[in-house]
Amino acid sequence: MDSPRDATISTAFQPSLRIDDRLPDIVIISSDNVYFYVHQHRVLNASTNNMGGLLLFDPAAFPHGFLPSLRLPESGDVLNVVLHTMYGLSCLHFHPTLETVEAALDALIKYGLPMQTHAAPYQPLHQLILSHAPYRPIETYALAGKHELDDLAVTISGHLLSFDLSRVTDDLATKMGPVYLKRLFLLHQTRLHALKEILLRPPAAHPTTPGCNPTEHGKLTRAWALATAQLVWDATPSKAYPAFDVTVPQTMDLPTAPLSIVGISPNSLRALLEPIADTLSCESCRLMLQQRIQEVVFSWSSVKPTV
C-alpha cells in the first residue's frame, strides 16, 4: 500500500498497536490522509452495519504483509474520536473541539454505533461531550438534545442556569428540538417562581423591646420588600441581571454576556441580602434578618438545578 507524501500515522492507532493479542489487520484512512491501523474484529463488534456497508472484505484474503485499506470522507480528528469510541477509549487528551465531536456523533450514527450505548454515563464519549459543557453550555446542550442523550442534557442544563434564554438562536432551537427547548425554559420559569416564593416572606418580628417597637420593626419589613422587589419581582427567565458574579476560567477567552437571575448562587443571594442590616439599628432586628437570610439560602439551595 503506497502512502501519499503528506500522509501521517495516528499516534493512537499505530501499526504496532496490539489489542486482544492481535496486531492491526486493516488501515482506515481519513480525508486528510491520517492512517489509522485498527483491528477488524473490534470495528465489526462495535458497528451494527459493517461501517456503513464499507467493511466487507476479508483481511486474510490479502497477501501476507499487505493490509487492506478503507478510505473514509471524515477528517483525521473526527475519525480519531470515532475509533476511540469504538475501542471504548478516552480521547479527552486530544482536546477535540465541540465541532469535531458533533461531526463524530454524526459519523457514529452513519457507521452503525448505537449512540445511547456509547454515550451512556461513565462511557468515554459521555465524558468527552460533558467536558465542553462549562465553556459552551448551550451548544453542548443542543447537541445532547439533538441525539436525545437525556442523561447528558440533564447534567449540562445545570450549566445553563445563568444563561440568558433570549440568546437561543433559531438554529440552536432547531438542533435541540422542541422537547429539550421547552424543558430548558421550564427550568428557568420554575426556578424563578421558586425564588419569588422563597423571598416573599419577610423576616419575622421579634418581641417588642424598649428600643424597638412594631413601628421600628417596620423598617426591616420595608427594607426587605425593597431589596427583594429590586431582585426578582420584575424579572423574567431571560432578563439579564448584572449584579452577581459567575466564575469563568482565566484560560477561556469568552465574551461577557447577560446573566439570568435564576442562576444566582446561594452565596451571591446572601451577599445581596445582608446589606439590609446596614439600615437597621436594632440588634434583635438584625438577628431576625440573619435567621431569615439563612432560611432563604437553604431553601434556594434545595431548588432543583437541572431539567
> How does DSSP assign 20-48, residue by residue?
TTB---EEEE-TT-EEEEE-HHHHHHH-S
Average pLDDT in the 138-149 region? Answer: 98
**Residue 238: pLDDT band by 50, 70, 90 thresholds?**
low
Least confident segment among 103-112, 163-172, 211-220, 236-245: 236-245
The conformation of residue 230, written as its DSSP 8-state character, comes to I
Give the separation between CA 161 and CA 184, rounded to whole angstroms: 9
Cα distances from 100 to residues 71, 128, 198, 258, in angstroms, run 19, 11, 43, 28
Give the separation between CA 33 and CA 9, rounded to whole angstroms: 8
The conformation of residue 49, written as its DSSP 8-state character, comes to S
Q: Which three cell numbers stand for residue 233?
A: 419581582
- Is the model's pLDDT at 243 over the cut of 50? no
Instruction: Please provide the distance, in angstroms rounded to a whole number, between the alpha carbons at the two ends of the chain.
Output: 52
Cα distances from 227 to residues 105, 184, 202, in angstroms, run 47, 28, 11
Q: For residue 209, what are the β-bridge partners? A: 212
- Describe the strand order of the beta sheet including 69-71 as a list of residue ranges: 8-9, 34-38, 26-29, 69-71
pLDDT in tens, 59-110: 666 666 688 999 999 999 999 999 999 999 999 999 999 999 999 999 999 9
Please report the pLDDT score of residue 249 as a whole number. Answer: 37
The residue ranges of DSSP E strands in the chain, in sequence order, are: 8-9, 26-29, 34-38, 69-71
- Is the model's pLDDT at 124 over the cut of 80? yes
